[in-house]
Amino acid sequence: MVKVERGKSFHTHKGFVKFDDIIGKEWGCNLMSSLGFRFSVLKPILRDYIMKSARETQINYPKDIGLIVMFSGIGPGSVVVEAGTGTGAMTTALAHYVKPNGKVFSYDIREEFQRTAEKNLRRAGLIEFVELKSKDITVGIDENNVDSVILDLAIPWVVIPLAYSALKPSGTIVSFSPTIDQVVKAVEALHENGFIDIQTVECLMRGMQVERGKTRPDTLMTAHTGYITFARKALKL
């Protein structure tokens, strides 16, 4: 994913492409490089802004982001609390789905990560739907009556009581954890704090090499990245 600027070129091992030959053309147009290879100009989609962004931390993969968004139930107008921001991969997806009148409040204690996240969000055109908060969420959540709380941090069980207070009734909480020990502690905290419909899943993604008579699964696959735990807030008796 490159920024097109007048008077400049994009250089590759298959030759270079002049940006002046692209400006003013339609998305999907084709042009030839200096070495005679065809290049196609495609509009970036959400996956591109996530996978090809600047990063200083491990990011969530689209396979996990898709599940997190679906089970969170968020959509246009939703108010979401997220922790931690990292370099903004999950934040970018959340902002995309809550626009045009929703908001994501994203907490992280590392200001340098949030600076990178801000750049990535601006690049994706989504910064206006996010408020980046340089704050330790384990100390407290400023927002209330929110639709969903999304957690990607080492000690989610500490935040779960705070999330219960911040969520509106029937609101959702989603926690992403790389280890099963974290999951067990989180699920115990969910039970103790009035959450219901608790479930944990793991998503594995295997690509396919497709060619007539030779179709088979890819040798390499994106297997374990983390466990995703979902739950809903019920009012306490």
pLDDT digits (tens, 9 = 90+) for 201-234: 999 999 999 999 999 999 999 899 999 999 999 9
pLDDT value for 173: 98
Q: Where are the domains of the chain?
A: 9-40, 46-233
Q: Which two tokens stand for residue 184?
A: 């067990």
* Distances from the Cα of 202 to the Cα of 57, 61, 98, 177, 208, angstroms: 21, 12, 25, 10, 20
pLDDT value for 56: 66
Q: Look at 189 and 56; give whichever has higher pLDDT.
A: 189
Above pLDDT 70, what percent of the chain? 100
Is pLDDT of 59 > 90?
A: no
Walk across the sheet containing 146-151 and list its strands.
130-134, 103-108, 79-83, 146-151, 167-177, 227-233, 195-202
Is pLDDT of 53 > 80?
A: no
pTM, 2 dp: 0.90
pLDDT value for 222: 86
pLDDT digits (tens, 9 = 90+) for 105-130: 999 999 999 999 999 999 999 999 99
Average pLDDT, the chain: 95
Burial of 219 from C-beta contacts in 10 A (0-12 / 13-18 / 19+): exposed
C-beta atoms surrounding 21 within 10 Å: 14
Q: Which two tokens stand for residue 90?
A: 């999950």
Just give the CATH number of 46-233: 3.40.50.150
Is pLDDT of 58 > 80?
A: no
pLDDT digits (tens, 9 = 90+) for 62-112: 999 999 999 999 999 999 999 999 999 999 999 999 999 999 999 999 999
pLDDT digits (tens, 9 = 90+) for 128-172: 999 999 999 999 999 999 999 999 999 999 999 999 999 999 999
Looking at residue 62, its amino acid is P
